[in-house]
C-alpha cells in the first residue's frame, strides 16, 4: 500500500481558487466604493457656508459667496486637470449665458493644487462667470468637506441649499432648467 499526499494536493488546488475569490471580492468592493454616492457636509436645506476666495483672473477682486445673495447661485467645485473639464465648463458657460441676465450667478471654485494656468483655462473655455481658486480646497475643506471633481450646490436667493450634486451633471436637462427658472425673476412671471 502506497501512502499518498492527497490532502496536501487538494489543499494546493484550493489556494488558486481562494486567491481568485479574494481578488474578485476586492474588485467588487472597489467598484462599489468608486460608484457609491459621495458624502458632503452640506445638505439640502442648510445655509451654504460662506467663504471668500481670490479670483483666477489677475486684478479681479476676491469674491465672497454671501455677496452673491439676492438671486440663485450655482456653486461648482472643480479640478481643471480632470478629464472632461473643458466640455463641462462649456456647458456651464451656456447655462450662465442663458440665465445670468435674469439673476443666476454661476461661481466656480478650482481646487487645483496651484492657480497656475487657471486664468488661461477659463479664457480658453470662454468663461464669463467668476472662477476662484482654493488650492487643495484649503479654505472650504472645513465647511464643505473635501470637494471632489466636480461637486456642485444650487443655492436659493438667500443662500440656502436647494440641491447637491456630487457627480458631473448635464446642466442642460429639463429638470435642472425648471429648478433654475423656479428661482429666477423671468419676464412674464
C-alpha cell of residue 170: 448635464
- Confidence (pLDDT) at 106: 93
C-alpha cell of residue 180: 433654475
CA distance 167 to 97: 22
Note whether 66 and 131 are same-domain residues. yes
Q: How many structural domains are present in the chain?
A: 2
Note whether 75 and 26 are same-domain residues. no
For residue 139, is it within any domain?
yes
Say if residue 150 is preceded by a cis peptide, omega within 30 of 0.
Answer: yes
- Confidence (pLDDT) at 36: 43
If one counts every other C-beta atom within 10 angstroms of the C-beta of residue 26, the result is 10
Q: Three-state SS for 170?
A: coil
- Confidence (pLDDT) at 9: 67
Note whether 173 and 111 are same-domain residues. yes
Q: Three-state SS for 33?
A: helix
CA distance 52 to 32: 36
Note whether 154 and 90 are same-domain residues. yes
Per-residue confidence in pLDDT tens, the chain, 189 aa:
555 555 666 667 777 777 777 777 776 665 544 444 455 778 889 999 999 999 988 788 999 999 989 899 999 998 888 888 888 888 889 999 999 999 999 999 988 888 888 888 888 888 889 999 988 888 888 888 777 768 899 999 999 999 988 888 888 888 888 989 989 877 665
Note whether 24 and 64 are same-domain residues. no
Model-level pTM? Answer: 0.76
Contact 128, 52 (CB under 8 A): no
Find the domain containing 159 and state its range.
52-182
- Confidence (pLDDT) at 37: 47
Concatenate the DSSP letters of all residues of 159-178 into one string: SBEEEEE-S---TT-HHHHH
C-alpha cell of residue 57: 483672473
Note whether 1 and 58 are same-domain residues. no
Amino acid at each position: 500500500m502506497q501512502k499518498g499526499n492527497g490532502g496536501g494536493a487538494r489543499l494546493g488546488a484550493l489556494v488558486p481558487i481562494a486567491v481568485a475569490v479574494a481578488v474578485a471580492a476586492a474588485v467588487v468592493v472597489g467598484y462599489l466604493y468608486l460608484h457609491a454616492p459621495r458624502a458632503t457636509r452640506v445638505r439640502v436645506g442648510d445655509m451654504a457656508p460662506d467663504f471668500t476666495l481670490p479670483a483666477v483672473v489677475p486684478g479681479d477682486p476676491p469674491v465672497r459667496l454671501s455677496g452673491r445673495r439676492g438671486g440663485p447661485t450655482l456653486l461648482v467645485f472643480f479640478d481643471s486637470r480632470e478629464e472632461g473639464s473643458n466640455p463641462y465648463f462649456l456647458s456651464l458657460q451656456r447655462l450662465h449665458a442663458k440665465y445670468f441676465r435674469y439673476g443666476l450667478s454661476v461661481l466656480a471654485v478650482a481646487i487645483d493644487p496651484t492657480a497656475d494656468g487657471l486664468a488661461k483655462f477659463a479664457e480658453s473655455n470662454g468663461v464669463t462667470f467668476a472662477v476662484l481658486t482654493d488650492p487643495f480646497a484649503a479654505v472650504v475643506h472645513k465647511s464643505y468637506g473635501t470637494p471632489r471633481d466636480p461637486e456642485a450646490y444650487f443655492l436659493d436667493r438667500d443662500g440656502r441649499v436647494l440641491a447637491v450634486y456630487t457627480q458631473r451633471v448635464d446642466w442642460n436637462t429639463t429638470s435642472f432648467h425648471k429648478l433654475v427658472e423656479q428661482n429666477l425673476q423671468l419676464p412674464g412671471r
